[in-house]
Chains A and B, each alone.
Chain A
Amino acid sequence: MTENIIEVRDLVKHYPVTSGVVFKKTIGQVKAVDGVSFDLKAGETLGVVGESGCGKSTLARVLMNLEKPTAGSVLYKGQDISRLSGGALRRLRRQIQLVMQDPYTSLNPRMTVGDLIGEPFEIHPEVAPKGSRRSKVKELLDLVGLNPEHINRYPHQFSGGQRQRIGIARALALRPEVIVCDEPVSALDVSIQAQVMNLLEKLQSEFGLSYVFIAHDLSVVRHLSDRVAVMYLGKMVEIGTEDEIYERPTHPYTQALLSAVPVPDPTLRENKTIIRLTGDVPSPISPPSGCRFRTRCWKAQDVCAQEVPLLEIRPGSDHPSACHFAEKREIVASYEG
């Protein structure tokens, strides 16, 4: 068995909702992530999908140790990351890096590309001694397919896809083991998106990286991921290999999500069944009791309002799903059609 590089256990992240200007009073909690467990294996890509506001970016921030969990833990090679300090914390910060969605705002516009990519070396001088930094940065530029001669340019002189490459070069600078990618290609046009996706795959095989790949585009996630986790309103509702999730989904939400993906083939128009969900996602401040999906689920029964369905393997299915009535359904539009 491959080792787990990250283990997430019962992770909870709540944000207080306050009212009042002078005397802030907490009137509720946004349950952004509310009890999530999963493993990331060495060298694999775990895709995380789900609709806006379901807690993907919050999960990323807690994984990065940028925020402390409200409860639960993130173990990196067996160590609880929220308890690390001093040298151990610095070493951890080298090992897990983040690539963010917005190539326009995630880079400081007043720094040159050389400074941006070299900045991590200032914090971790042991990785590259001062004299070698410029050449290291040039190597990184070359690695991500940018012209090393452009080392003195500023972010605004690059296109969106090129800026995303700068972000990736920066994340690679410290030779991390894990890269958390939060919607790294969502802001890019298809032709540029494909270039960046190919780059991420090339780097993974070259450096044996593990990726947590967050995106709302299910085709992009399938293309890159070994395993996929589906989130809904702060919970993980289904997790499995890309085949298990895309070919044999058992959770009604996953089934609805997959059925709604527009397929780039007009000949499949007619024989495609979209499961139409009604209503909107409920507020994460007061999520529905029992199963959080029940207000939009066509299969909901009384038990769904009373008991929280656990993320577990049920009879007749081969992977964990958080539905009392998890079962296969022959609906999902597929390309093989």
Chain B
Amino acid sequence: MSDILVSEQSAPGADGSGRPSGRLLEVEDLRVEFRTRDGVAKVINGVTYHVEAGETLAVLGESGSGKSVTAQTIMGILDTPPGFVTNGQVRFHGKDMLKMSAEERRRIRGEGIAMIFQDSLSALNPVFTVGFQIAEQFRIRRGMSRADAKKRAVEMLDQVKIPNAKGRYSNYPHQFSGGMRQRAMIAMSLALDPEVLIADEPTTALDVTVQAQIMDLLGELQRERQMGMILITHDLGVVADVADRIAVMYAGRIVEEADVFELYRKPAHPYTLGLLNSIPRMDERGQELRTIKGLPPNLMNIPPGCPFNPRCPMAQPVCREKVPPLLQVGAGRASACHFAEELVNRD
């Protein structure tokens, strides 16, 4: 495994402290399957990524590629059964959370790692006011008095730029617009000042003008707090705007990892290339879009060899036989393709 870029660098204890320098959260060779009546779906098949303080890692992939299940595993909210972790580690400050007691994990949630979800309406409790839900965290986790907790909650609402925060404190979630609910959820997840924030499609349900406001806000709060952020999304536009590094997922694997500029300039995996080619560009009206043929694989029956091979325009016989490992292909980037070198070295 020493040839895998990410795990090579992340060997814990490199600085003798048992804590990898800068790496807050590391996922290594994670495997998750769902055991259902219809069969076993192998949804995460060896995911490795990490995030450092102050950086934004974008996890990019199409629906069903395993982005959210990875996040759920990190947060310890995987639906078990049917979901089972069959391999791997999720280290926070070098310590494997999958081996921690429920109590230890609970302490990390919120303060160490927090998460915001795509669907704010179902993530907020409809029967409590928005303000109360934020204040509760200060009461339970910080032992604050009712009055202090309320004051802090109003401050949080104010920080996420909800107008008239004091007045809005006692509104219920349904009284907020979609954009305001998303802000409220950000306030709630940042209340305990987490070191890592996982944002799972935080703006997918929002309009572009509101999306821009929310992404601005997240960026601002992240810089202030030097948080590490894992931004899960399928939107190649949003990623280009905010990511530092990108991990591209396909069929439960990271198929490419690179710095944002490198990835857009010269993708090192045919799937990434295909994705970039299929977005409608505003300056190419009328031209046929280049598409990726076919569909993502059925996770109960992933094709042997490279999981992308049935759709890949570059596929060779070897691709049907050998699974390409995620290998380094130049400084700070990795690709899981037998022909990555050729892709990177083309002019």
Contact = CB atoms under 8 A, between A and B. Distances in A.
Q: Do A and B come from one complex?
A: yes
Interface string B228-242: 000000111111110
Given A260-B209, A266-B261, A191 B275 contact: yes
A130 interface: no
B62 A277 contact: no
Contact of A216 (B178, B208, B285, B295): B208
A264 B163 contact: no
B288 interface: yes
Interface residues of A, number: 45
Contacts of A223: 280-282, 284-286, 289
A161 B288 CA distance: 17
Contacts, number: 124
Interface string B290-318: 11100100000000000000000000000
B57 to A, nearest CB: 14
A242 interface: yes
Contact of B283 (A189, A261, A266, A334): A334
Residue from A160, A191, A195, A276 having most chain B Cβ neighbours under 10 A:
A191
Contact of B281 (A189, A219, A257, A274): A219
A332 to B, nearest CB: 10
Contacts of B276: 264
Interface in A25-76: 51-52
Nearest to A243: B285
A194 B234 contact: no
B279 A219 contact: yes
Contact of B282 (A191, A201, A219, A257): A219
Nearest to B263: A266
Given A191-B275, A191-B278, A264-B237, A242 B260 contact: no
Contact of B264 (A192, A220, A261, A265): A265
Interface stretch (B165-173, B188-196, B210-218): B210-218
B341 interface: no
Interface residues of B, number: 45
A56 to B, nearest CB: 12
A334 B282 CA distance: 8
Contacts of B237: 219, 261-264
B36 interface: no
B278 A194 contact: yes
Interface of A: 51-52, 159-162, 189-195, 197-198, 201, 216, 218-220, 222-223, 242, 246, 256-257, 260-269, 274, 276-277, 279-281, 334-336
Given A262-B240, A334-B283, 10 more contacts: A51-B207, A51-B209, A190-B279, A194-B291, A198-B291, A219-B281, A257-B209, A264-B281, A266-B260, A279-B163
21 contacts: A189-B63, A190-B278, A191-B275, A192-B295, A194-B278, A194-B290, A197-B280, A216-B207, A216-B208, A219-B237, A222-B282, A222-B285, A223-B281, A223-B285, A257-B208, A260-B209, A264-B236, A264-B240, A264-B281, A265-B240, A266-B261
Interface of B: 62-63, 163, 177-180, 207-213, 216, 234-241, 243, 260-261, 264, 274-276, 278-286, 288-292, 295
